[in-house]
Structure 1
Amino acid sequence: MGKVRTIGIGMDYSATSKLALKWAIDNLIEEGDTIIIIHVVSSKVDPTNKQLFEDTGSPLIPLDEFKEINVSKYYGLDPDKEVLDMLDPVSKLKKVTVMSKVYWGDAREKLCEAAQHLKLDTLVVGSRGLGVLKRVLLGSVSNYVVQNATCPVTVVKANPPK
């Protein structure tokens, strides 16, 4: 067992972010690590507590608390059973600490801020696999994060259709 690490995983509950979580569990996470699931909620969502945490994001939320529906809703999130079902066993079997943190705003900027403020050893994000034109028009979150994060970033791509 090496150094205990803090691993961030960008989560928007899309298929690719769930794939990134699964990849991290299967290939990266070791006993004793800390996983921080980083949620970035659109600025359009306006939970009552957003003003309180807008600059720094929410406090770190332990997995047991985050599983409670009222806690997730408090931060403007709808909990995803599939994600919770992946996190629960890894926290127990690999003795991993799992926390969540919620930010509001632009995902590109907030993921990079999280990498710096949380002093992440690495960050894992999914890639939506935008085509060239859409990537130019919309900008790629994963590309921006790779270029600007203060830690190594792993981008997990969706499996190509067969």
Structure 2
Amino acid sequence: MKRILVGYDGSQNAERALDFAIELASKFSAKLYIVEVIDLTVFYNAGVLPPLEATRSLEEKAKKDIKKAVEKAKERGVEADGITLEGDPANTILQFASDNQIDVIVVGSRGLSKIQRLILGSVSNKIAQESKVTVIIVK
């Protein structure tokens, strides 16, 4: 186990997943990839472009989240890269994992998107069902 991906969005469940992933990476001397996905699919699915203000706000939040998470990992002696991506969270995380030879994906049991979860199902569920690598869902 050399490459661990943790899905992160700044929520309490994502914090727990991050803490778990940092501990796991530390035990295995693995590199940690902290990934936050900016989800604009609601706008695209409705056939409209997202307002520029909303896009900027989400990008700024994601960058702050990632910076804080990477600092936390590095403070605990874990090599970590922070990545912000745009797209459907589950599909984007799965694609990143595939493209980067990730060994384990760690996600929280729930993120911030409660309405989307009701309509489309949870991100963690989809990742667990479709991943080709081990997935750990932290509660």
TM-score w.r.t. the length of structure 1 is 0.63
CA 137–148 in structure 1, closer or farther in 2 if over 3 Å, else same: same
Q: Which residue of 2 aligns with 1:57?
A: none
Q: Render the CA deviation track for 1:73-108: whole Å, top value 9, x for unaligned.
A: 4xx6341476355213223xxxx3210122101101
Q: Which residue of 1 aligns with 2:15?
A: 18
| Whole-angstrom distance in 2 between the partners of 1:102 and 1:82 | 13
CA 31–153 in structure 1, closer or farther in 2 if over 3 Å, else same: closer
How far off is 1:136 after superposition?
A: 5.3
Residue identity in the other structure for 1:22: D
The runs of at least 4 consecutive aligned structure 1 residues that moved more than 2 Å come to: 43-47, 80-86, 134-138
Task: Check conservation: 2:4, 2:102, Cα contact below 8 A.
Answer: yes
Residue identity in the other structure for 2:2: R
Q: Which residue of 1 aligns with 2:69?
A: 83
- Which piece of structure 1 moves more, 82-91 or 31-40? 82-91
Task: Check conservation: 2:106, 2:135, Cα contact below 8 A.
Answer: yes
Aligned residues: 121
Q: Which residue of 2 aligns with 1:38?
A: 35
| Whole-angstrom distance in 2 between the partners of 1:11 and 1:46 | 18
| Whole-angstrom distance in 1 between the partners of 2:62 and 2:119 | 27
Which of the two has greater helix per residue?
2
Correspondence 1:141 to 2:123: yes
TM-score w.r.t. the length of structure 2 is 0.73
SS in 1 for 2:105: strand
SS in 2 for 1:115: helix
> 70, 74, 79: which one pairs with 1:97?
79
Residue identity in the other structure for 1:126: G
Note the residue ranges of structure 2 that are not aligned, 5 or more in a row: 41-49
Note the residue ranges of structure 1 that are not aligned, 5 or more in a row: 48-71, 158-162
Q: Percent of pairs identical after alignment?
A: 29
